[in-house]
A and B are shown apart, each in its own frame.
Chain A
Amino acid sequence: MNSAVIEILAPRYQIAWYPWAVQYFFMIALAYASLWLALPGLLGARRWKATARYALLGAMTTAIVAPIALLADLHQPLRFWHFYAYFTPWSWMSIGSLMLPPFVFAIIALAWLVWREPMLAWRTRDDMTGLIARIATLGGWQTPRFAVVALALFAAVMSFAIAIYTGSEVAILKGRPLWNTQWLLPFFAATGFIGAAGLVLVLNRFTGARDADTDRNMLMVVVAAAVVTALVALAWALEGIFVEDSSVAAAIQSVRHSAEWRSTAIWSLSIGASMTLVSFLLVWRNGARIWGWIIGLVALHLAWMARWNVLMDVQTVQKQTAGYLEYVVGWGSSGWLGVIGTFGLWIALLLVIDMFVPWKQALDGPADAPAEKTDISAKGVPSHG
């Protein structure tokens, strides 16, 4: 620039999508990626059955919480029925509103089919769990295997639609150059897998069963998804460097002089690289059992932060005026209360299911009282069985 320009007066253009949007994109990505992690076990892979138990629990709970967060991001949530009264096939968001219910209900139905199998044994109980089992199983019939397979495959097809629509919905927006790239689709999906694998690692640790195969499987998924994420980020950056007038170039230009964006990039890169390296070492050195859940928490953090950076931080880059919005997350419902509330709802849902559903016995899980398994050798580690 060969002359100085000072912006004397311009409005402060506020953000329009609140942290609710981050919660939705985070939860829905966990839901569809967890479903994929559950698929091998659901379809019969023996060493993935324990993984499938956690992944299905993760998919089912996040699939329920995600649309609630989405609804809360509308400024007129009670008008949600307008989506169905005025279907708009040329709008990605409208298409998404048609895809979401079948996806969510397919996952709920799938979990119900899988969980009602061990639940049948609870029908004779005298307590509350027995009453719920008698109602929720809808009769004493055995779950047909083909129904599980068919529903799992249907949910998998719908999960593709969800991954494509959530990515495209944001990627088509020319108004924000940082979003306007098709690389956003694989980026959301790959970081979704990082988060889902992390979720399964954490569930595996804190629900007590602590399955060794699951730790190994999930650490490998973390490594693979992190490598894919890195490749996507690299491809995006290369496009910005080599392709003239690409939106990527505009995006990079728009944050070139921001110290905050630089530190965000450095933080994500260093955490991501460390997580990948340590996951690899844990698989290689058989340390997964003790440290796997910490990787799980880091993976969840990364997947969530990726969405925060993309959805919240990008909104602070002004579109046509100079500088950045100094966005402070409020404590109210469109701020931290929404974030904490979403996670609180999700944990509550987990606890309710853990209380009333014998999900650990599903998919050939250990019979009641899922105590320590035979391959466990570590001593002195508390177990929340």
Chain B
Amino acid sequence: MDLARRMFMGQLARLAAGASLVPLATVAEAAINDQPPRRGGDPTKRYAMLIDLRRCIGCQACTVSCHLENDAPLGKFRTIVSQYEVDDPETGDMSTFFLPRLCNHCDNPPCVPVCPVQATYQQEDGIVVVDAERCVGCAYCVQACPYDARFINDKTQTADKCTFCTHRLEAGLLPACVESCVGGARIIGDLNDPESTIARMIAEHRDELQVLQPEKGTLPHVFYLGMDERFVDRPEAFASIWEIRGTDNEELHYEFSGH
């Protein structure tokens, strides 16, 4: 990506982080691919997450605790930390960049209107969930999400995704990833409560916050502090992990491949 485009994307990411904070009016028009009304959840709240990348050390404690908490199948993740090696164009030094990824619980979630049976929906508190009893496993939502936040769970054969651990929130607990984060990089809270940590941090860092793929108009509600603009979109990176090959030049697979 050239510099001009990168700067443009960076500005867009900041603008969109601001735009994401303006609540999208509950739309109820029946036009094709429009957002259906939200249902369930606490209408007084709007959950969001702020990830302070300056505090993330890439330990994957969030990945592991999420896996244990939510019983995701091996090789599929509701959250994971992408890791990159980046050279600094000014000093020539190599550094490492960690990017925790999870469902963005967008204000305009592209995964919701595509669902043909209304199995996936957005709660009034902004959390996007899946009703696994109703889901037909068509994977249309998996295709619609630009963030790879969804997958078909091999155990249930239905769509699966991060729910901000809504079952824990309801019980007054923090999501597994937030609770296990050693650096305290993940902050979850209610944007509608001006006294919440997240609301105060957003007010404080408003101009520095960025969201992923802002040009898609999804209005993500996972905000990143200390974001490198090169990773806002699909990074132009050398995918080293898939270049590890066996003697037959075949890509080496995970040991749990086939599960």
Enumerate chain A interface residues (CB-CB to B < 8 A). Answer: 1-14, 16-17, 73-76, 79-80, 82-83, 85-86, 88-97, 168-169, 172-176, 179, 245, 254, 315, 318-324, 326
Contact = CB atoms under 8 A, between A and B. Distances in A.
A95 B32 contact: yes
Contacts of A4: 86-87, 238
Contacts of A324: 239
A15 B135 CA distance: 18
A239 B164 CA distance: 40
A106 to B, nearest CB: 22
Given A16-B152, A75-B157, A320-B212, A10 B241 contact: yes
B116 A93 contact: yes
A321 B2 CA distance: 18
A168 B89 CA distance: 43
A322 B239 contact: yes
Interface of B: 1-3, 30-34, 36, 75-77, 80-89, 96, 101, 110, 113-119, 134-140, 142-148, 151-152, 157-158, 212-213, 215-218, 230, 233-242, 251, 254
Contact of B87 (A3, A85, A95, A96): A3
Given A76-B157, A93-B140, A319-B147, A7 B215 contact: no
Given A3-B86, A76-B137, A82-B136, A16 B142 contact: yes
Q: Top 7 nearest A-B pairs by Cβ distance?
A: A75-B137, A323-B239, A16-B139, A94-B116, A322-B237, A93-B116, A5-B237
Contacts of B31: 90
B114 A8 contact: no
User: Taking chain A's interface residues, is the majority helix, strand, or loop, or is none over half, making it mixed?
Assistant: loop
14 contacts: A1-B1, A2-B89, A3-B87, A76-B157, A83-B136, A91-B33, A92-B114, A95-B32, A96-B116, A172-B114, A319-B145, A320-B233, A321-B234, A322-B234
Given A7-B237, A174-B146, A82 B82 contact: no
A3 B88 contact: yes
Nearest to A86: B117
Contact of A83 (B116, B143, B216): B116
A76 B135 contact: yes
